[in-house]
Amino acid sequence: IRKAGILPSLEDLLFYSIAEGQERIPAHKFITALKATGLRTGDPRLKECMDMLKVTLKSTSDGVMLDRHLFKKCVQSNIVLLTQAFRKKFVIPDFQPFASHIDTLYEKARKLSGGLVADYIPQIAKFSPDLWAVSLCTVDGQRHTVGDTKVPFCLQSCVKPLKYAIAVHDHGTEYVHQFIGKEPSGLRFNKLFLNEDGKDYNHQLQHDSVVFEFDFPFLISVLQLMNFLKKMAGNEYVGFSNATFQSERESGDRNFAIGYYLKEKKCFPDGTDMTSVLDLYFQLCSIEVTCESASVMAATLANGGFCPITGERVLSPEAVRDTLSLMHSCGMYDFSGQFAFHVGLPAKSGVAGGILLVVPNVMGIMCWSPPLDKLGNSVRGIQFCTDLVSLFNFHNYDNLRHFTKKLDPRREGGDQRVSCFLFCFYNIFIKHDCRFALSSVDMEQRDYDSRTALHIAAAEGHTEVVRFLLEACKVNPGPKDSFHEAYVYMQ
């Protein structure tokens, strides 16, 4: 095989799929091709590859070019992940076109000018209404961000499903729901009201969260929750805004009223220190994230509790299932029913302008824009989510049989696959034939004249391609086309 110039290893196939017939490739060309799959150079799963690439480039004469041997040395530690990426085996196989659609939806929502920034929390009131960011992370760790995605902001109510998930993970659903309900209330998020059993309606409301801070002693420290959230975020940014905490504390009369109302209704044991309970509530709402880190948290929920970029199991399947169920029915304040109907995905909004959106088994998304509508949801965020499911079949009920009007980014765009596959052999595009081999494509596919790639490569006189097909791909050496002609190849 080596004498014939055929290079069977995955590392070699990957090299030639990028090199396009060249003996050496610039390192930046590999990085560009990698980013096109949706992976980042800072992905923890690619640490060995990136570290080796830096070391290897320092040892080269020009610090730029990689031959096949050096390339193999760099990628071999992470070849399984890289092969998946370049074989288009990720959940979004054609990532660049998908990312372009996201950018278009972002720009459309950016033009909106309605809504008001929440002014009852002074620190939030300082945010510019022009801030707008969208970040996504797929269950395979593909990333895309656009806008002000590195600006920290407080989770506020977006923290509620996350701490609920942690509680169910640690204590189980049955225990947790001894204290809180599951039904949407149909009331404003800060309304003073209990259900007919004297319980809170659901954990997504303000008073339910106040009860929750007391009833789960494992949440006595905000640091514990922050550490858990950091695992969900793949060790990306999770911080704390002390200024927001102090601001909430000073302007939290409504929350204190809710707390003492709940205490009067015997939702707390006698002797409960309401100041400590409410301080914890304010602290949890003051946990900071960026759109980028929060999108990984959402992706952990989308991925059944496994963090996509670390592979660590963070939440139990039970916790994820129950959290997404509550987010779907109760996550968007008084707009929850409308959102479930039109968008059909689990989500949670917060007064800082964030919307945590989960597309189960596909991706997590965080949208952030401070201007809110009259129900307390981000104006741009709602528009983006609505447009997203109008374009893609992400709505929970879009995937019914015969529903084909929307795009499905989970499918590789390729009604023209056979044509593309055969066309590459007319042009001896080594990049393409290696990519097809990497993708486990049937290398004996036929066109309308029953010609295979072997026929075409032989007819065009491309000896290296013929060798590749015969020796690496093990194709049938004697296929006949519709004219009963076999390929003719003279060594």
pLDDT for 339 beyond 80: yes
Residue 209 lies in a domain: yes
Instruction: Clarify whether residues 168 and 266 are in a common domain.
Output: yes
- Please, which residues have CB within 8 angstroms of residue 102's CB and are 6 or more apart in sequence? 134, 136, 144, 146
Segment of 55-69, 192-206, 466-480 carrying the highest mean pLDDT: 55-69
Give the span between the Cα atoms of 175 and 255, in whole angstroms.
Answer: 25
Instruction: Clarify whether residues 443 and 366 are in a common domain.
Output: no
- pLDDT of 485 reads 63
Residue 186, classified by CB atoms within 10 Å of its CB into exposed (0-12), middle (13-18) or buried (19+), is exposed
Say how far residue 85 (Cα) sits from the centre of its chain: 15
Average pLDDT over residues 314-334: 93
Put simply, whether the predicted model's pTM sits higher than 0.85 gets the answer no
Token pair 């510019």 is at which residue? 128
- The CATH number assigned to the domain holding 418 equals 1.25.40.20
Instruction: Clarify whether residues 181 and 307 are in a common domain.
Output: yes
Instruction: Clarify whether residues 276 and 316 are in a common domain.
Output: yes
Whole-number average pLDDT of the chain: 83
Nearest to 330, CA basis, from 315, 349, 317: 349
Instruction: Clarify whether residues 83 and 157 are in a common domain.
Output: no
Q: What percent of the chain has pLDDT over 70?
A: 79
pLDDT for 419 beyond 60: no
Residue 405 lies in a domain: no
- pLDDT of 193 reads 53
Instruction: Clarify whether residues 425 and 480 are in a common domain.
Output: yes
pLDDT in tens, 39-52: 999 999 999 999 99
Nearest to 380, CA basis, from 165, 127, 171: 127
Residue 268 lies in a domain: yes
Residue 398 lies in a domain: no
Higher pLDDT, 373 or 491: 373
Residue 401 lies in a domain: no
Number of domains in the chain: 3
- pLDDT of 8 reads 52
Confidence of residue 59 (pLDDT cuts 50, 70, 90): confident
* Beta strand segments in 40-172, E: 65-67, 133-138, 143-147, 153-154
- Lowest mean pLDDT across 39-48, 172-181, 276-285: 172-181
Residue 296 lies in a domain: yes
Instruction: Clarify whether residues 316 and 253 are in a common domain.
Output: yes
Higher pLDDT, 483 or 392: 392
Report phi then psi at 288, rounded to 5. Answer: -100, 145
- The CATH number assigned to the domain holding 16 equals 1.10.238.210
Q: What percent of the chain has pLDDT over 90?
A: 53
Nearest to 215, CA basis, from 253, 272, 255, 160: 272
- Please, which residues have CB within 8 angstroms of residue 49's CB and are 6 or more apart in sequence? 74, 75, 77, 78, 82
Higher pLDDT, 400 or 319: 319
Instruction: Clarify whether residues 274 and 139 are in a common domain.
Output: yes
- Lowest mean pLDDT across 82-91, 215-224, 299-308: 215-224
Average pLDDT over residues 304-312: 96
pLDDT for 58 beyond 90: no
- The CATH number assigned to the domain holding 301 equals 3.40.710.10
Instruction: Clarify whether residues 161 and 194 are in a common domain.
Output: yes
Instruction: Clarify whether residues 311 and 372 are in a common domain.
Output: yes
Average pLDDT over residues 432-461: 65
Token pair 């009007």 is at which residue? 405
| Inter-residue contact 453 to 137 (CB < 8 Å) | no
- Please, which residues have CB within 8 angstroms of residue 86's CB and are 6 or more apart in sequence? 14, 17, 33, 37, 435, 438
Give the span between the Cα atoms of 90 and 139, in whole angstroms.
Answer: 8
- With the CA atoms of 412, 416, 417 and 422 taken in that order, what torsion angle do they form, in degrees rounded to the nearest 10? -160
- pLDDT of 428 reads 44
Nearest to 82, CA basis, from 5, 8, 18: 18
Q: What's the domain range around 307?
A: 97-391
pLDDT for 454 beyond 90: no
- pLDDT of 206 reads 45
Segment of 21-30, 289-298, 408-417 carrying the highest mean pLDDT: 289-298
pLDDT in tens, 145-169: 999 999 999 999 999 999 999 989 9
Give the span between the Cα atoms of 51 and 485, in whole angstroms.
Answer: 52
- pLDDT of 313 reads 96
Average pLDDT over residues 368-388: 97
| Inter-residue contact 321 to 335 (CB < 8 Å) | no
pLDDT for 233 beyond 70: yes
Give the span between the Cα atoms of 206 and 136, in whole angstroms.
Answer: 27
